[in-house]
Amino acid sequence: MTLWPCEGICGQIPFNIPRKEALNDEKEKYRTRIDIRLTGFNETINEIKDKLERRKENMPEIQIEKLCQKHEEAKNKLASFEKSDKDAWHKYKAELDDLVDDIDDDLRSALAYFG
pLDDT, tens digit (0-9, with 9 covering 90-100), for 15-74: 444 455 655 788 899 999 999 999 999 999 999 888 888 877 666 667 888 989 999 999
Question: Given this model, what pLDDT does residue 6 score?
Answer: 40
Question: Looking at the domain assignment, is residue 17 inside a domain?
Answer: no
Count the neighbouring beta carbons within 10 Å of the beta carbon of residue 110.
Answer: 21
In a domain, 89, yes or no: yes
Yes or no: say if 75 and 53 are a contact pair by the CB < 8 Å rule. no
* The pLDDT value given to residue 85: 80
On whether residue 3 sits in a domain, the answer given is no
Q: What is the per-residue pLDDT for 59?
A: 67
Q: Are 79 and 89 in contact (CB under 8 A)?
A: no
Among 103, 102, 97, 101, smallest CA distance to 81 is for 97
Number of domains composing the chain: 1
Residue 54 lies in a domain: yes
- Containing domain of residue 37, as a range? 24-112
How far apart CA 48 and CA 62 sit, in angstroms, is 9
Would you say residue 64 lies in a domain?
Answer: yes
Assigned domain for 99 exists: yes
Note the pLDDT tens digit of each residue in 81-96: 888 887 788 888 889 9
Rounded Cα distance, 104 and 32, in Å:
17
Has residue 107 been placed in a domain?
yes
- pLDDT for 4 equals 38
Checking DSSP bridges between strand 3-7 and strand 14-18, what pairing results, if any?
A: antiparallel
pTM (2 decimals)?
0.71
